[in-house]
Structure 1
Amino acid sequence: MGYRVVDCDEVETVEDRPCEMQRLSGAAGLENVAINRFRAAPGEQIPLAYHYHETQEEAFYVLSGTMAVETPAETYEVDEGSLFAVEPNSPQRAYNPANATEAVEVLAIGAPAVTGDTRMYDSEEENKSERGNEPGGETE
């Protein structure tokens, strides 16, 4: 049997990210699930640009504040105490809006814990591609 208590205040913040990020799964010795904690000031992203995962499911639980999530269909507002779930191949960009009055704190959980399945999503390229498939649409 294996058990661990992780003092999150002792986990280092990851460098080169658009907001504060702590990788908790490694500190807990977990290999099959990715758990990260984010704290984003107004105007900061959580943690990447517009992207999707090929195999990983993600869940974002908002600990405090309100997180915004841009998707191709709409932008969601996820309030404190709410969970936002993302299926594989579903583009999204999570962030704290610039006009927010406080930071947002989020616990992100992804499974399986894989590397290399993240793909950047270019909404402008996608729109061009869709227009190219419509009658009278542009092609490049």
Structure 2
Amino acid sequence: MDDVDVVTNPLDVHDVRRPVSRVLGTEHVAMNYFELAPGDAFAGGLHAHGDQEEVFYVLSGVATFEVGRDRERVDVAAGELIRFAPGEFQSGFVRGDADEDVVAWAFGAPGARHDWDAIETIAACATCAEERPHATELTDEGRFRFTCNACGTSFSP
């Protein structure tokens, strides 16, 4: 694992994410290894992959996941798994007051890479003045750009 490069999220929400599927050359499954400190997250917020289901396996610690648009919270402890269907909104993180770090795996299928056209992120829209689904893309500069599906307003955090 130490030979797999660390590639972090453009929103700097974690320090260690190792995209193992890149090293293995998988085409039909994404595999990411995470080490998360209290306050860290797997991704940048509540989002859904329209084309991919995801499974998270927690090796140590307790990860908290927000599930669905209503953000129901579910704690996933060491030795437990959680699955998200394609199109299901989710977000995972380590609570800021947690006693220990989390080590976990994230698996996605089909596909070893994201189809950015199939990802939606729930974000506050400055124009609509409320949280709405946003199209999500990764720019050539390696930053996220979110575009409100309702009004078309775009921003990059």
Give TM-score, length-normalised by structure 1. 0.79
SS of corresponding position for 2:131: helix
The gaps in structure 2 that reach 5 residues or longer are: 125-129, 133-157
The residue that corresponds to 1:21 in the other structure is 17
Q: Return 5+ residue gaps in structure 1 as ranges.
A: 1-7, 127-140
Asked whether 1:35 is paired with 2:31, we answer yes
Task: Describe how 1:1-140 pairs up with structure 2 within 5 A.
Answer: 8-15=1-8, 16=10, 17-19=12-14, 20-71=16-67, 72-113=70-111, 114-116=114-116, 117-122=118-123, 125=131
- Structure 2 CA distance, aligned partners of 1:101 and 1:82? 18
Count how many residue pairs are aligned between Structure 1 and Structure 2.
Answer: 119
Question: Aligned partners of 1:32 and 1:81: how far apart in 2?
Answer: 25
2:127 maps to none
Deviation at 1:73, TM superposition (A): 4.9
Structure showing greater radius of gyration is 1
2:51·2:115 contact (CA, 8 Å) conserved in 1? no
* Correspondence for 1:132: none
Identity %: 34
Higher helix share: 1
Distance 1:40 1:110, change over 3 A: same
Please state which structure has a larger fraction of its residues in strand.
2
Deviant stretches of 4+, over 6 Å: none
Q: Using CA pairs below 8 Å that are at least 6 residues apart, which structure has the higher relative contact order?
A: 1
Q: Which amino acid aligns with 1:119?
A: E
